[in-house]
Amino acid sequence: MHALPRDSLNFPDNFIWGTSSAGHQIEGSNEFSDWWAWEQEGLIEDGTVSGRAMDYWNRHEEDHALMAKLAYKGFRLGIEWARVEPQKGRFDCVVIEHYRRILQSLRKHGFKICLTLHHWVMPRWVAEQGDWLNPDTVHQFLRYAKFVIEELGAFPDYWVTMNEPMVPAILGNVLGQFPPQRRSLRAYRAVSRSYLRAHAGTYHLIHKMHPLAPDGTRSMVGVAMAYPWIEPWNSPGPAGWYERFAAFIARRAAFEGWDHTICTGKPHWIHGGPAIAGIQNSYDYCGINYYTRVSLKYDRRRRDQYRLDETKALPGIDVTQMGWQIYPEGFYRTIRHVWERFGKPILITENGIADDTDTQRPRYIVEHIAQVHRAIQEGIPILGYYHWSFIDNFEWREGFAKRFGLIAVRHDDPDLIRAPRRSAYLYSEIAQKNAVTRETVEAYAPQAVATVFGD
């Protein structure tokens, strides 16, 4: 017998429907940072630089009012180390006051605040002293973190000590695609260990200095970790063996090694070295950033050292403006993987799609949120979902051409007008109803009715 078709995927009370962002990508004028300097070298693919970005620094009030109007319930934002400490040891009080006003405004609107202390970017003076390879950097990061916790620690409902440390560790140190463009496995290892030490130190600092969250419960601290669903392409013959081996290593370098180190306290072989003080169990929740599946394919024509193509989509799979495979099932599998590993509550800290015309996004949203619902139905505690991103922003190496926003903004528009896409209203309906209803899906993404409701 068929189960009766459902008409609504309902979410638990107090589920947070938020949006996500990062300082450097939206604030603008992060002049004292390593990324700012790197951008000036003409390395950004669409020829842009972050510049004034979306000018969130000055337009935050307007943005918060728009989020509130759309009935969004949470916001994830970042603090920029390079703004707070533009020169070594000089902490800028004007900047901290400005961040305080931003956070006060978010509080006034009643948003659940998720605050990131490090999202890839560092002050230029840190980069110049050898970034995370320099043993002093961890200590200096902790000094910065302490200052921010002291000044702003009363605001966050959720702390993200760092965003996806594996991304700069791999792209910046192994593949040479991000600053400082190293190509060294040894550097990957050293940088990863520094990140882990900085995370562990920050975790304990927060618990010492701000043991309670604004609602009086224990502070919630974690990392927003990148979880691409990595698979081998499975070519026939030796190429397939190599792909399976590469996927095995890539999964460990990307997240499994990190999960292991944090969970057990014993450095995974991918990180090596002696124990890292305070790392064991240094998560109160697990932050998941999920976007896509990566299928690793051997390509002997490639000139790089690993001869792997990570950009190919499996036949029949749609891809986004980034060329990323759309694979909602991987979201569920990731959530389950993290839950089985840690057994801790989960916060979706990022999930989204680059889609300038907003043709794929509505379907992407409902199909991915349906996977979150599936996991909740199976008893996995998920606290909320922060969609990436609130507005279009500076998409790192890709510049402004790749557009992840629920709200469209043209970086070359002198007025930087905020124009909600249809998806912004779709997400608003979901947040208001605390559910994905058949009516909503029929209105915004009719192609997804069958997949979302299992008809």
Question: Can you give the binding site for ligand BGC, defined by CB under 6 A?
Answer: 22, 25, 163-164, 167, 226, 289, 350, 388, 395, 404
Residue 9 or 221 with smaller CB distance to ligand BGC: 221
> Cβ of residue 310: shortest distance to ligand BGC, in angstroms?
14
Min CB(119)–ligand BGC separation in Å: 6
Q: How far is the CB of 321 from ligand BGC (least distance, A)?
A: 11
Q: Cα separation of 354 and 38, whole Å?
A: 23
Closest to ligand BGC by CB, 163 vs 423, is 163
For residue 24, the minimal CB distance to ligand BGC (Å) is: 8
| Closer residue to ligand BGC in complex, CB, 76/210 | 76
Least Å distance between CB 161 and ligand BGC? 14
Two structure tokens written together for 272 = 């090596």
Query: Which of 22/426 has CB closer to ligand BGC?
Result: 22
Smallest distance, ligand BGC to C-beta of residue 224, A:
7
Least Å distance, CB 301 to ligand BGC, is 26
Q: Which of residues 164 and 355 has its CB atom nearest to ligand BGC in the complex?
A: 164
- At residue 220, what is the residue type? M
> Would you say 140 or 349 has its CB closer to ligand BGC?
349
Report strand pairing: 308-309 vs 407-408.
unpaired
- For ligand BGC, which is the closer residue by CB, 198 or 376? 198
CA separation for the pair 436, 6 (Å, rounded): 11
In single-letter form, the type of residue at position 403 comes to R
From 64, 162, 61, select the one nearest 113 (Cα to Cα).
64
Cβ proximity of 149 and 210 under 8 Å? yes
In angstroms, give the least distance from the CB of 452 to ligand BGC: 24
Q: Report the residue number, 9 or 354, with the smaller CB distance to ligand BGC.
A: 354
Closest contact distance (angstroms) between CB of 400 and ligand BGC is 12
- Distances, alpha carbon 264 to alpha carbons 258, 311, 345, in Å: 10, 33, 17
For 354, residues 6+ apart whose C-beta sits below 8 A from its C-beta are: 320, 321, 322, 324, 395, 402, 403, 404
Kindly tell me which of 168 and 267 has the beta carbon lying closer to ligand BGC: 168
